[in-house]
Amino acid sequence: MDVLANLNGGFPLLSFLIFFPLAGSLVLFVYPKETFAKYWTLAVTIITALMSLGLLFGFDRTSTKYQFAELHTWIPQFNINYVVGVDGISILLVILTTFIMPFCVLASWKYISKRVTAFMFCLLIMETSMVGVFVALDFILFYVLWEFMLIPMYLLIAIWGGPRKVYASIKFFLYTLAGSVLLLVAIIALYMKNGSFFIPDMMWNEYSMVFQVLVFLAFFLAFAIKVPMFPVHTWLPAAHVEAPTAGSVILASILLKMGTYGMLRFCLPITPDASLLLAPYILWLSIAGIIYGGFTALAQHDMKKLIAYSSVGHMGFVTLGIFVFNAQGIQGAIMQMINHGVTTGALFLCVGMIYERTHSRELRLATGVGKFMPWYVTFLVFFCLSSFGFPGTNSFIGEFLVLAGTFRENEILALAAIPGAVLAAAYMLRMLQKIVWGGTDNPDQSYLTDLNIREIVTLAPFLLFVFWIGLGPEPFMNLMDASVQQLVDQLGQWQQHQHVATLLLP
């Protein structure tokens, strides 16, 4: 347990972040009035967000250990513990989660009109499980939260979703569940080998190649569905389209990141040989996803679908960065995860705002609003530019680092990803042009009202982060540097060690 820094010392901040929203949700049982529920949920999520800033202040940027660690015995018979901690890979994701949530509440203020209390309840327990997934260091704890998350998400789509909500929610549930079952098998297999569910104990151990490949594939399928990687992405457009705005934002900004987080946290350190062996296939699968997502997004007439397919492309860049196994690639991947959370979350909020006015997600019906909603399109312009990696915005840094890492690894691979960047510009500018300008036969949009204060307050922080990360990424990079470097170093040593081992074989 020497990987845990400052164990059980001081205020249990991570437990607070996990359980405070849960405790908040219980209050809604006692006092389920709708207006109260809105304000209460907003307050709870804001407090959680502000408290999560404590992570930044106390985080030792030079350490590679899991910090703010807490360890409590849970089920001693099976050596299952409640262990949580953050390192450079997860800290940004935790803060992203806590900061996205208040905006999800704000975005649902008017959008959700029925069963408001239940909706807010779902949001709060969603937050509990999402934060939990990112900080859990015990495999059972991780798995429980990972699975638990499906229920509120399923409800968000199935109750408050659009016309095809039943289809979309069941598809979402089945896909993710299918992946998770194999994940459980892998976890038990690893427990059999190690006698422990403590995740760091399972890393960098000598497992046989066959075992590694099998475990890797089980992991990978679960995570690839979550990311979602081409070709197991088909649940995503359906879920995004039908989910309410807050649901789409949570899906895009946080849920998708769990897949790539899982790959970084589990696939690479637990099954390094299998990762190295299978990396070329995954890299080309990522390229396929980048290109496929781009082309499909270009053909969409539904704004939410367009952004959903763009996510497939963007997340392709993340997996590309992870599996080139160098520091730049992985830093780029983590940055891209955060950036995608910020930008795509904001884009879904923007689409939601149009939907609240026109009651349609059709691009055709949203053309030419620039004249009547100047504030709205100002925000939209920056988020669209950010989405296709305009220099000076957040996504550029992520894409730049991923491409730089890929060029180091393999020039052909990097060049193959470039058409994806071109396509991203094409579909985003197409959408932007249509919404802002349209053509000569725009529908009458003169009834539209520009953003109100609540909406501006919702979007402005996203814009701040678009430029902050885009022009001064250093504070964000510093958080992850040590952990990423350690991961890459260990991977390098492992590779060398294996190489020596093969040479020594008779």
**Interacting residues with other proteins (CB under 8 A):** 385, 388-392, 397, 400-401, 403-404, 407-408, 411, 414-415, 418-419, 421-422, 424-426, 429, 433, 437, 439-440, 471-474, 477
* DSSP output for 139-204: HHHHHHHHHHTHHHHHHHHHHH--TTHHHHHHHHHHHHHHHHHHHHHHHHHHHHHHS--BHHHHTT
Burial class (CB in 10 A: 0-12, 13-18, 19+), 16: middle
In this complex, which beta carbon is closest to other proteins, that of residue 142 or of residue 382? 382
In this complex, which beta carbon is closest to other proteins, that of residue 440 or of residue 446? 440
Output the six-digit token pair for 105.
């509440």
Query: What is the phi/psi pair of residue 228, to 5°?
Result: -95, 140
Taking the complex as a whole, the smallest distance from the CB of residue 422 to other proteins amounts, in Å, to 4
Taking the complex as a whole, the smallest distance from the CB of residue 381 to other proteins amounts, in Å, to 8
Query: What is the phi/psi pair of residue 400, to 5°?
Result: -60, -50
Taking the complex as a whole, the smallest distance from the CB of residue 301 to other proteins amounts, in Å, to 18
Taking the complex as a whole, the smallest distance from the CB of residue 380 to other proteins amounts, in Å, to 13
| DSSP SS3 for 339 | helix
In this complex, which beta carbon is closest to other proteins, that of residue 60 or of residue 411? 411
Taking the complex as a whole, the smallest distance from the CB of residue 40 to other proteins amounts, in Å, to 39
Rounded Cα–Cα distance for residues 59 and 478 (Å): 11
In this complex, which beta carbon is closest to other proteins, that of residue 216 or of residue 325? 325
Residue 20: which of 44, 36, 42 has the closest Cα? 44
Taking the complex as a whole, the smallest distance from the CB of residue 385 to other proteins amounts, in Å, to 7
Taking the complex as a whole, the smallest distance from the CB of residue 329 to other proteins amounts, in Å, to 11
In this complex, which beta carbon is closest to other proteins, that of residue 272 or of residue 405? 405
Taking the complex as a whole, the smallest distance from the CB of residue 300 to other proteins amounts, in Å, to 18
366 HSE (CA, 13 A, CB side):
29
Query: What is the phi/psi pair of residue 244, to 5°?
Result: -70, 165
* Preceding omega of 231 cis (within 30 degrees of 0): yes
In this complex, which beta carbon is closest to other proteins, that of residue 2 or of residue 474? 474
Taking the complex as a whole, the smallest distance from the CB of residue 485 to other proteins amounts, in Å, to 14
Output the six-digit token pair for 359.
């009651």
- 261, 89 Cβ separation under 8 angstroms: yes
In this complex, which beta carbon is closest to other proteins, that of residue 232 or of residue 463? 463
Single-letter amino acid, residue 328? Q
Q: Distance of CA 325 to CAs 23, 219, 463, 478, 495, Å?
A: 40, 18, 31, 19, 11
Taking the complex as a whole, the smallest distance from the CB of residue 408 to other proteins amounts, in Å, to 6
Task: Give the dihedral sign, CA 99/337/162/153.
Answer: negative
Query: What is the phi/psi pair of residue 12, to 5°?
Result: -75, 75
In this complex, which beta carbon is closest to other proteins, that of residue 195 or of residue 374? 374
Q: What is the DSSP letter of 271?
A: S
The conformational region for residue 10 under phi > 0 = left, psi -120 to 50 = alpha, else beta, is left
In this complex, which beta carbon is closest to other proteins, that of residue 204 or of residue 407? 407
Rounded Cα–Cα distance for residues 59 and 52 (Å): 11
In this complex, which beta carbon is closest to other proteins, that of residue 302 or of residue 409? 409
**Angle at CA 394, nearest 5°, toward 392 and 396?**
65
Taking the complex as a whole, the smallest distance from the CB of residue 374 to other proteins amounts, in Å, to 9
Task: Give the dihedral sign, CA 281/287/291/297.
Answer: positive
Taking the complex as a whole, the smallest distance from the CB of residue 407 to other proteins amounts, in Å, to 5
Rounded Cα–Cα distance for residues 488 and 326 (Å): 6
In this complex, which beta carbon is closest to other proteins, that of residue 216 or of residue 476? 476
